[in-house]
């Protein structure tokens, strides 16, 4: 073994820091850091509790503050009835449970699709809803989150709010956190939202090693593609914070003026720009104070519960569960399952956290670390990673050309063949989304007419495209669709009933497919 280095800050400084941050671990050599099992457990539990508090305490503020900021003047974290499932935590819960049962960190695509079809059929929106509908055509991840095929994927905030637990299971290993996180967030997002996955998982992973906010944020920036919009966004937020350290409203106004580009519509309130920036701003203005960080996240607004959940995870890791519980906040140790089929009904916050602790040990060992025992008790020797970008930004035009080249021949063959209806329906959607349909229609009008009939046998596809995707990227797919006869249907339901219709239709499709397989 090489000569031991005296402080973790040396390793961190070479990666992303400009100064020596306070460190929790004891460096054991150039590449490893020791954290006691007690510290790892405490920080994972703190991060998960912080995520749940931010999410559930933030729901009353979700999408309420768009044109103007919120005015929450006092806030005390509390979960007097315990936590419950919500999309900020329950997608990850489904994955974490399956990762444990299958003994793998990277579930196969087909397994992920099967999990969605059997367990994730309601209380899903936006990019995740679109991905779920594409699964009805037997499109598997990550195709369901491809920027060409899913019009929400290029901006949706899911890259942030479905990523936090993957930072928690990779303490001090931001590259690994990013890779695991992307494996699951790519189910519904791509592009800049995938950069947000890497940004926030890197920050969470790094918070196990230091509570210096600047160092944690620098780690997140180091995980970004140099061309990512997040680089400018974070520079702006830091600048506005320096200019207005005592006036968060001024910073919020500057953020809205520069990055609200869609008149406060869904593309704004559900997008990565305003929400990612609000999360960073809440952390800067909160300055390590857990309750204040969440209060600022609520007040910055837009998709406030998501932003508070992410910020709460990071500060929760910094503070730790033991400190959080010492604050005498009213918190019941319960995680009620109100949304996910075939999942436990008796989960608690700590039992959910224990799943993460078990997987964290898996990650540490699989990456070359180990669990040892010494005078401090059980200790994890963690292989520390530099934060780096592990998935560069894709280009929409390049991705379209790639899909046309890689899928074009197979799409045409499926449209021409006498294969089953679902295969032809899937090929028809792929042809529409990739811009291949018009040429096929012109050369094979009869076969295209048959394929349209097949696609229309899955009415949820037209519904989600025409009536549940009020976003710019969907316009291109709708133009391609209308040009070849896949036209706008009558809307099924209004408001919540329309959403329920979609949930019911995808669930019925799963039942029908299962019955067909048995027959």
CA-to-CA distance for 212 and 214, rounded, in angstroms? 6
- From residue 125, alpha-carbon distances to 96, 282, 288 in Å are 21, 25, 32
Q: What is the pLDDT of residue 13?
A: 32
Regarding whether 238 and 179 lie in a shared domain, the answer is yes
The pLDDT score that the predictor gives to residue 30 is: 53
The model's pTM: 0.94
Q: What is the pLDDT of residue 287?
A: 98
Concatenate the DSSP letters of all residues of 497-512 into one string. HHHHHHHHHHHHHHHH
Q: Are 155 and 125 in contact (CB under 8 A)?
A: no
183 and 294 housed in the same domain: yes
Domain span at 501 = 396-518
Mapped onto helix, strand or coil, the DSSP state of residue 84 is strand
Which pairing describes strands 335-336 and 83-84: parallel, antiparallel, or unpaired? parallel
Q: With respect to residue 1, please indicate whether it lies within any of the assigned structural domains.
A: no
Of 383, 415, 434, the residue that ends a domain is 383
- How far from 116 is each of 135, 321, 517, CA to CA, in Å? 8, 31, 18
* Cis? peptide before 142, omega within 30° of 0: yes
Please compute the mean of the pLDDT values over residues 131-150 and round it to a whole number.
Answer: 98
Question: Based on the domain organization, do 376 and 415 belong to the same domain?
Answer: no
Instruction: Give the C-alpha separation, 44 to 511, whole Å.
Output: 37
Res. 514 pLDDT band, cuts 50 70 90 = confident
Average pLDDT rounded to a whole number, residues 129-157: 98
Residues 217 and 254 in one domain: yes
Are both 185 and 302 inside the same structural domain?
yes
Q: What's the confidence (pLDDT) of residue 9?
A: 30
- Computed over every residue of the chain, the mean pLDDT equals 93
- Cα distance between residue 303 and residue 315, in whole Å: 19
- Shared domain for 280 and 379, answered yes or no, is yes
Residue 65 lies in a domain: yes
Query: Rounded distance, CA 41 to CA 35, Å?
Result: 10
CB 309 within 8 A of CB 341: no
pLDDT of amino acid 519 = 64
Q: What is the pLDDT of residues 63-97, one digit of tens each?
A: 999 999 999 999 999 999 999 999 999 999 999 99
Number of independent structural domains in the chain: 2
501 inside domain: yes
Report whether pLDDT(436) > 90. Answer: yes
pLDDT at 473 over 80: yes
H or E segment and range at residue 95: helix 90-102
Helix (H, G, I), strand (E, B) or coil at 355: helix
Does 400 lie in the same domain as 379?
Answer: no
Residues 454 and 379 grouped into a single domain: no
Q: Which residues pair with 373 in a beta bridge?
A: 378
Q: Determine, yes or no, domain membership for 117.
A: yes
Q: Please, which pLDDT band fits residue 5 given cuts at 50, 70 and 90?
A: very low
Do 379 and 460 lie in one domain? The reply is: no
Last residue of one domain, picked from the residues 383, 410, 438: 383
119: domain CATH number? 1.10.4080.10
Query: What burial class does residue 342 get, using C-beta atoms within 10 Å of its C-beta: 0-12 exposed, 13-18 middle, 19+ buried?
Result: exposed
Cα–Cα dist 319/118, whole Å: 37
Structural domain includes residue 39: no
* Separation of alpha carbons 189 and 144, rounded Å: 8
Residue 177: which of 398, 324, 417, 388 has the closest Cα?
A: 388
Quick one: 92 and 240 in the same domain?
A: yes
pLDDT of residue 24: 45
Write down the H helix ranges in 244-302: 248-259, 266-269, 272-286, 290-300
Distance CA(291)–CA(308), nearest Å, equals 10
Read off the pLDDT of each residue in 246-270 and give the average, rounded to a whole number: 97
Inside any domain, residue 389: no
> Is 480 within a domain?
yes
Domain end (from 383, 417, 447): 383
By CB atoms closer than 10 A (0-12, 13-18, 19+), residue 519 is exposed
What is the percentage of the chain residues whose pLDDT exceeds 90?
91
**Does the pLDDT of residue 200 top 60, yes or no?**
yes
pLDDT of residue 431: 98
Q: Is residue 329 part of a domain?
A: yes
pLDDT above 60 (res 288): yes
Is there a single domain that holds both residue 98 and residue 160?
Answer: yes
Higher per-residue pLDDT: 513 or 362: 362
Four-residue CA torsion sign, 262, 264, 267, 272: positive
Q: Do 249 and 216 share a domain, yes or no?
A: yes
């Amino acid at each position: 073994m090489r000569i031991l280095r005296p402080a973790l800050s040396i390793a961190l400084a070479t990666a992303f820091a400009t100064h020596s941050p306070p460190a929790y671990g004891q460096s054991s050599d150039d590449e490893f850091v020791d954290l006691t099992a007690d510290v790892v457990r405490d920080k994972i539990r703190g991060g998960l509790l912080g995520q749940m508090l931010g999410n559930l305490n933030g729901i009353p503020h979700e999408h309420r503050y768009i044109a103007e900021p919120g005015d929450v003047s006092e806030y005390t974290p509390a979960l007097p009835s315990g936590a419950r499932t919500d999309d900020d935590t329950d997608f990850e819960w489904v994955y974490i449970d399956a990762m444990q049962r299958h003994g793998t960190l990277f579930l196969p695509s087909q397994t992920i699709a099967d999990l969605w079809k059997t367990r994730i059929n309601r209380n899903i929106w936006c990019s995740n809803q679109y991905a779920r509908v594409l699964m009805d055509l037997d499109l598997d991840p990550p195709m369901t989150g491809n920027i060409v095929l899913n019009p929400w994927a290029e901006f949706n905030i899911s890259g942030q709010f479905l990523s936090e637990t993957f930072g928690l299971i990779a303490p001090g290993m931001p590259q690994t956190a990013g890779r695991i996180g992307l494996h699951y967030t790519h189910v519904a997002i791509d592009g800049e939202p995938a950069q947000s996955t890497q940004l926030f998982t890197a920050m969470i992973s790094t918070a196990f090693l230091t509570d210096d906010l600047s160092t944690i944020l620098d780690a997140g920036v180091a995980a970004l593609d140099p061309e990512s919009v997040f680089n400018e966004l974070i520079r702006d937020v830091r600048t506005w914070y320096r200019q207005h350290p005592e006036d968060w409203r001024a910073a919020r106004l500057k953020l809205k003026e520069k990055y609200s580009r869609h008149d406060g519509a869904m593309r704004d309130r559900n997008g990565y720009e305003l929400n990612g920036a609000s999360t960073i701003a809440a952390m800067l203005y909160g300055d390590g104070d857990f309750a204040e960080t969440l209060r600022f996240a609520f007040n910055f607004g837009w998709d406030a519960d998501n932003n508070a959940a992410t910020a709460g995870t990071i500060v929760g890791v910094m503070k730790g569960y033991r400190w959080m519980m010492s604050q005498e906040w009213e918190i019941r140790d319960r995680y009620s399952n109100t949304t996910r089929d075939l999942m436990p009904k008796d989960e608690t916050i700590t039992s959910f956290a224990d799943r993460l602790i078990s997987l964290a040990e898996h990650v540490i060992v699989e990456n070359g670390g180990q669990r040892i025992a010494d005078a401090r008790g059980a200790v994890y020797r963690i292989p520390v990673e530099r934060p780096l970008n592990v998935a560069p930004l894709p280009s929409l035009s390049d991705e379209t050309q790639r899909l046309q080249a890689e899928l074009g021949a197979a799409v045409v063959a499926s449209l021409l063949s006498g294969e089953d209806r679902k295969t032809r329906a899937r090929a028809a959607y792929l042809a529409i989304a990739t811009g291949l349909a018009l040429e096929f229609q012109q050369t094979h009008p009869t076969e295209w007419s048959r394929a349209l009939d097949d696609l229309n046998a899955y009415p949820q596809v037209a519904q989600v495209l025409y009536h549940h995707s009020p976003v710019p990227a969907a316009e291109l797919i709708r133009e391609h669709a209308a040009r070849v006869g896949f036209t706008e249907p009558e809307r099924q339901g209004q408001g919540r009933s329309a959403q329920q219709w979609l949930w019911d239709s995808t669930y019925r499709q799963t039942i029908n497919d299962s019955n067909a397989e048995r027959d």
